Structure 1
Amino acid sequence: MKNLAVITGASKGIGLAITEKFLAQGFEVAICARNLESLVQIQNQYGKEKVHIFSADLSQKEQVFNFANFVKHLAIPIKVLVNNAGIFIPGSLLEEDHLQIHLDTNLWSAYYLTKALIPSLQESYIFNICSIASLAAYPRSGSYAISKFALLGFTKSLRQELLGSKIRVSAVLPGATLTDSWEGTTLPSERFISPKDVAEMIWAAYGLSPSACVEEIIIRPQQGDI
Structure 2
Amino acid sequence: MPHAVITGATQGIGKTIAEKLLSKGYSVAICARNKEKLAELTQEWTAQYPKATIAAYPADLGNRTETEAFGKYVLDTFSQVDILVNNAGSFLPGDICEEPDDRLETLMSVNVYSAYHLTRVLAPTMKNAGSGHIFNMCSVASLKAYPNGGSYSITKYALLGFSDNLREELKPHNIKVTAICPGAVYTPSWEGSGVPSERIMEANDIASMLWSAANLSPQANVETIIMRPVKGDL
Contact 1:3–1:76, Cα closer than 8 Å, also in 2: no
Mapped to 2, the partners of 1:221 and 1:37 lie a distance apart of 33
- Within-5 A mapping of 1:7-22: 7-22=6-21
1:138 maps onto 2:146 in alignment: yes
Partner of 1:105: 110
Partner of 1:154: 162
Counterpart of 2:222, as a letter, is V
Mapped to 2, the partners of 1:136 and 1:172 lie a distance apart of 14
Mapped to 2, the partners of 1:106 and 1:190 lie a distance apart of 27
More moved, 153-162 vs 31-40: 31-40
SS at match of 2:132: strand
Give CA-to-partner distance per residue, 1:94-131, whole Å, 9 cap, x none: 11121111100000000010011111113110000000
Counterpart of 1:212, as a letter, is A
Contact 1:81–1:127, Cα closer than 8 Å, also in 2: yes
Gaps of 5+ in 1: none
- Within-5 A mapping of 1:1-226: 2-47=1-46, 50-97=53-100, 98-121=103-126, 122=129, 123-226=131-234
Counterpart of 2:73, as a letter, is F
Q: State the identity as a percent.
A: 47
Give CA-to-partner distance per residue, 1:131-171, whole Å, 9 cap, x none: 00000111112100000000000000001111111110000
Counterpart of 2:107, as a letter, is H
Q: CA deviation at 1:180?
A: 2.4
Counterpart of 2:38, as a letter, is L
Mapped to 1, the partners of 2:178 and 2:67 lie a distance apart of 21
Mapped to 2, the partners of 1:84 and 1:75 lie a distance apart of 20
Gaps of 5+ in 2: none
Mapped to 1, the partners of 2:189 and 2:97 lie a distance apart of 22
Q: CA deviation at 1:209?
A: 0.6
Q: CA deviation at 1:31?
A: 0.5
Structure 2 length as normaliser, TM-score?
Answer: 0.94
SS at match of 2:173: coil
More moved, 21-30 vs 32-41: 32-41
Give CA-to-partner distance per residue, 1:65-94, whole Å, 9 cap, x none: 110110000133210000000000111211
Aligned Cα root-mean-square deviation (Å): 1.1
Alignment coverage as a number of residue pairs: 225
Mapped to 2, the partners of 1:78 and 1:186 lie a distance apart of 40
Structure 1 length as normaliser, TM-score?
Answer: 0.97
Give CA-to-partner distance per residue, 1:24-67, whole Å, 9 cap, x none: 00000000111222221211112185211011110100001110
Mapped to 2, the partners of 1:82 and 1:191 lie a distance apart of 26
